[in-house]
Amino acid sequence: MSYRYQRRYTGPLQAVIFDWAGTVVDFGSFAPTQVLIDAFAGFDIEVSLAEARIPMGLAKWDHIQALGRLPAVAARWQARFGRAMSDADVDALYAAFIPLQIERVGDYSALIPGALECIATLRQRGLKIGSCSGYPRVVMDALLPISAAAGYAPDWVVATDDLPAGGRPGPWMALENLIRLGASDVAACVKVDDTVPGIDEGLAAGMWTVGLSASGNEVGLSHAQWSALTPAEQAACARPAAAKLQQAGAHYVLASIAELPAVLDAIEQRLANGERP
């Protein structure tokens, strides 16, 4: 007879891993989308804000490729150049995109309301703060000092091109955070993101996942635009975004990072009851 030992983590949470745009900074996630629109415009291709948002969460090279494969965008490219977009075209668009993103990421770097208070609460609980992004390292290096000056400096940062395996929707950036932060179990970690690829990333890593609807890419409103809505209008705007994140498998969906601390209590109770993500 053989016996199989099973260990189930029931301890407290150890780390929370945040996305950047639409999650902690840049309410509405405008920096990646607007700059992508401008990069395509440099090639005489019109892309709408709604189209630019569709592949959000992917590494930026992958985002550009996916955007170019959208039927309407692909048709415009075919009409303009007489051929389908190639990987070499994606390389050229990416080369145009990166300097623009570095130059302008600071224009959209304001912290989301409630973010600093949330991070302070998490640190008081003894939690490590990790982060990862669809931005490449050169963009993160431009954003980090701006964010630090505003009061947000996570314990670890992984950019989408830091790892040979790549970025989302794979688990590698989230798992690299776990290693660097010294968390002892994937179930002790929570991944917080406003995009489906970001939720996929956390689930693939075996972590708890929290989706953010109102502050992120799916609603796509600035904080001023969001605040101008009535509560009923806000609920109507956030409903499709929340449904999309729930369908992706997010364990919890909140409006913004400001609501996160209470959910961590619920996750720790589930851990204590023997549940896994």
Residues annotated as catalytic (active site), given as ranges: 19, 60
The backbone torsions φ and ψ at residue 240, rounded to the nearest 5 degrees and listed phi first, read -65, -35
Q: How far is the C-alpha of 9 from the C-alpha of 12, rounded, in Å?
A: 9
Convert 232-263 to b/e letters by CB count within 10 Å (16 or more is b). Answer: eebeebbeebbebbeebebbbbbbbbbbbbeb
Q: Which residues contact 216 (CB under 8 A, 6 or more apart)?
A: 22, 23, 28, 29, 193, 194, 195, 241
Task: Give the length of the chain.
Answer: 277
204 HSE (CA, 13 A, CB side): 16
CA distance 50 to 67: 11
Greatest alpha-carbon pair distance for the chain in Å reads: 70
Q: What is the dihedral of CA 90, 96, 101, 103, to 10 degrees?
A: 170
CA distances in angstroms from 222 to 28, 48, 54, 216, listed in the order given: 5, 16, 17, 9
Q: What HEC string does 48-88 produce? A: CHHHHHCCCCCCHHHHHHHHHHCHHHHHHHHHHHCCCCCHH
